């Protein structure tokens, strides 16, 4: 990194007045608006360096930190707004050694502790692009192809990514990155710890060279990349998980010297109004009247995820009881199959479970008392297994004042240990 005092052409003991005077003089000399077209870009680079040096040295705290650490951060790390190409530890050791170790040794040690490695251009990738979409359970059942319009940067075909008309064009070395095409940023990650990372030089577009405007490529205007628009297809296979991603390798932005990143489509499944998915199984609720539960029925109970009507026929005499499920084999979610066809094996498709909710009639549902007698004559009134309770008539109490509650209305007991053990402790008798 160039010395800030040298940039402003002053000594390290210069006063604020001398720094301001030097800045005004150099700013007038290198202002881009006063330069010819050929020298404008070079002046812009020099003007940025002068402005940055002035901003640091005119501020008392920043100048003190720079004199001590070579940075503008009191903890020895460079702030995120400024780029440095030097080693801050060299400021402590003055380029010399301490017990056989120099500034670079200490810098590499702390840099390695923070897991930060020197990323060179050949090892880096452009950023991945992420698309977030919502799909339906129907899409996962039959599969879906999502088409998306993609606009990305690709390497200019005319200049092959050089940014200039031809290889014979005369260039100047970039004054910011010194021809490297990138600058090293020192970043403080914790008190006393720093890390380094390489970032592309924006002044020269990572080429390390500066060209005149008239020598730039006409197609990309010196940017080295052009825009490309195309349609991408993301195939979500049937039976895919409810959350997942589809990756298009190398379809993100291109840039010279970098590996193109990926375009990642991340999808999530919306909640369905009828069906609930549990891995390969599908679950739904079906409410039927008590008469259907006792006598059987034949009805279309739902529309399947592929548009088919699901008709269930319960034969006469088959009784559906509370808590029963109707299992339709092979009507759940497909899984581990490339394509679901009419000859697909049931082993590759889950099952559909229909939970039956029996709706009992309201109180006083009968029209005439004979209706009650008719029901009692038709339905069995005796239990298969029962124990008769024999109590003298004079000792029988009749209860007519009661209420019917649901399981959710039952009280909660604090003595949970007894319930888990499956018994309750009664009164204990003292041994005599």
Give residues with Cβ within 8 angstroms of 366, minimum separation 6. Answer: 372
pLDDT surpasses 70 at 343: no
Question: What does the pLDDT read at residue 74?
Answer: 45
pLDDT surpasses 50 at 319: yes
> What's the rounded Cα separation, in Å, for the pair 281 and 329?
10
* Per-residue CA distances from 62 to 5, 11, 12, 24, 310 (Å): 13, 17, 14, 20, 75
Cα atoms in the Cβ-side hemisphere of radius 13 Å centred on 2: 16
Question: What does the pLDDT read at residue 416?
Answer: 53
Cα atoms in the Cβ-side hemisphere of radius 13 Å centred on 275: 26
> What's the rounded Cα separation, in Å, for the pair 358 and 372?
20
- Of the pLDDT bands very low, low, confident and very high (cuts 50, 70, 90), residue 311 is very high
Task: Identify the top-confidence range among 28-42, 113-127, 220-234.
Answer: 220-234
Higher pLDDT among residues 338 and 149, named by residue? 149
Question: What does the pLDDT read at residue 109?
Answer: 46
Q: Can you say whether the dihedral through the CA atoms of 58, 64, 65, 66 is positive or negative?
A: positive
Question: What does the pLDDT read at residue 69?
Answer: 65
Per-residue pLDDT tens over the stretch 373-388: 888 888 877 777 767 7
| Average pLDDT estimate for 212-239 | 90
Per-residue pLDDT tens over the stretch 229-257: 999 999 999 999 999 999 999 999 998 88
pLDDT > 90 in the chain, percent: 30
Would you put residue 205 in left (φ > 0), alpha (ψ -120 to 50) or beta? left
Question: What does the pLDDT read at residue 83?
Answer: 40
Question: What does the pLDDT read at residue 207?
Answer: 79
Per-residue pLDDT tens over the stretch 55-105: 889 988 888 877 776 665 544 443 333 344 444 444 444 444 444 444 444
| Average pLDDT estimate for 330-345 | 64
Question: What values do phi and psi take at 310, rounded to 5?
Answer: -100, 105
pLDDT surpasses 60 at 113: no
pLDDT > 70 in the chain, percent: 75
pLDDT surpasses 70 at 126: yes
Question: What does the pLDDT read at residue 94?
Answer: 43
Question: What does the pLDDT read at residue 232?
Answer: 94
Q: Enumerate the β-bridge partners of residue 210.
A: 172
CB 140 within 8 A of CB 242: yes
Per-residue pLDDT tens over the stretch 134-169: 999 999 999 999 999 999 999 999 988 888 888 777
Question: What does the pLDDT read at residue 336?
Answer: 57
> What's the rounded Cα separation, in Å, for the pair 188 and 85?
14
- Of the pLDDT bands very low, low, confident and very high (cuts 50, 70, 90), residue 47 is confident
Question: What does the pLDDT read at residue 107?
Answer: 46
Higher pLDDT among residues 84 and 211, named by residue? 211
CB 185 within 8 A of CB 201: no
Question: What does the pLDDT read at residue 281?
Answer: 92
Q: Can you say whether the dihedral through the CA atoms of 357, 363, 364, 370 is positive or negative?
A: positive
pLDDT surpasses 50 at 179: yes
pLDDT surpasses 50 at 117: no
3-state secondary structure of 206: coil
The token pair at 115 is: 């897991």
Question: What does the pLDDT read at residue 427?
Answer: 53
* Secondary structure tally for the chain: helices H, strands E: 10, 17
117-121, 229-233, 297-301: least confident range: 117-121
Across the chain, what does the average pLDDT equal?
A: 78
């Amino acid at each position: 990194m160039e010395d800030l005092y040298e940039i402003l052409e002053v000594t390290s003991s210069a006063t604020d007045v001398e720094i301001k005077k030097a800045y005004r003089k150099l700013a007038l000399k290198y202002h881009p608006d006063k330069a010819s077209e050929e020298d404008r870009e070079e002046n812009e680079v020099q003007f940025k360096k002068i402005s940055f040096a002035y901003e640091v040295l005119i501020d008392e705290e920043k100048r003190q930190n720079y004199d001590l650490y070579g940075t503008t951060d009191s903890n020895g790390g460079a702030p995120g707004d400024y780029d440095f190409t030097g080693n801050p530890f060299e400021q402590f050791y003055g380029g010399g050694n301490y017990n056989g170790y120099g500034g670079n040794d200490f810098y590499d040690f702390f840099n390695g502790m923070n897991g930060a490695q020197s990323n060179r251009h050949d090892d880096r990738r452009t950023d991945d692009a992420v698309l977030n979409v919502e799909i339906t359970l129907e899409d996962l059942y039959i599969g879906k192809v999502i088409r998306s319009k993609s606009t990305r940067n690709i390497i200019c075909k005319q200049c092959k990514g050089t940014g200039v008309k031809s290889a014979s064009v005369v260039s100047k070395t970039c004054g910011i990155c010194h021809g490297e095409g990138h600058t090293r940023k020192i970043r403080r990650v914790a008190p006393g710890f720093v890390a380094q990372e390489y970032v592309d030089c924006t002044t020269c577009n990572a080429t390390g060279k500066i060209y005149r405007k008239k020598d730039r490529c006409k197609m990309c205007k010196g940017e080295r990349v052009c825009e490309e628009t195309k349609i991408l297809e993301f195939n979500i296979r049937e039976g895919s998980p409810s959350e997942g991603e589809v990756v298009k390798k190398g379809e993100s932005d291109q840039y010279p010297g970098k590996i193109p990143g990926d375009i990642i489509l991340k999808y999530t499944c919306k909640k369905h109004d009828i069906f609930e998915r549990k891995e390969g199984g599908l679950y739904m609720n079906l409410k039927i009247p008590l008469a259907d539960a006792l006598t059987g029925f034949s009805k279309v109970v739902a529309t399947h995820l592929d548009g088919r009507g699901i008709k269930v026929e319960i034969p006469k005499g088959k009784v559906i009881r509370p808590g029963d499920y109707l299992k339709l084999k092979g009507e759940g979610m497909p899984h581990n199959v490339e394509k679901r066809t009419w000859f697909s094996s049931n082993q590759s498709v889950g099952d559909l479970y229909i939970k039956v909710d029996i709706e009992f009639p309201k109180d006083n549902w009968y029209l005439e008392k004979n209706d009650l007698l008719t029901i009692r004559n038709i339905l069995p009134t005796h239990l298969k297994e029962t124990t008769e309770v024999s109590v003298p008539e004079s000792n029988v109490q009749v209860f007519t004042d009661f209420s019917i509650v649901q399981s959710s209305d039952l009280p909660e007991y604090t003595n949970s240990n007894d319930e888990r053990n499956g018994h309750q402790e009664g009164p204990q008798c003292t041994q005599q």
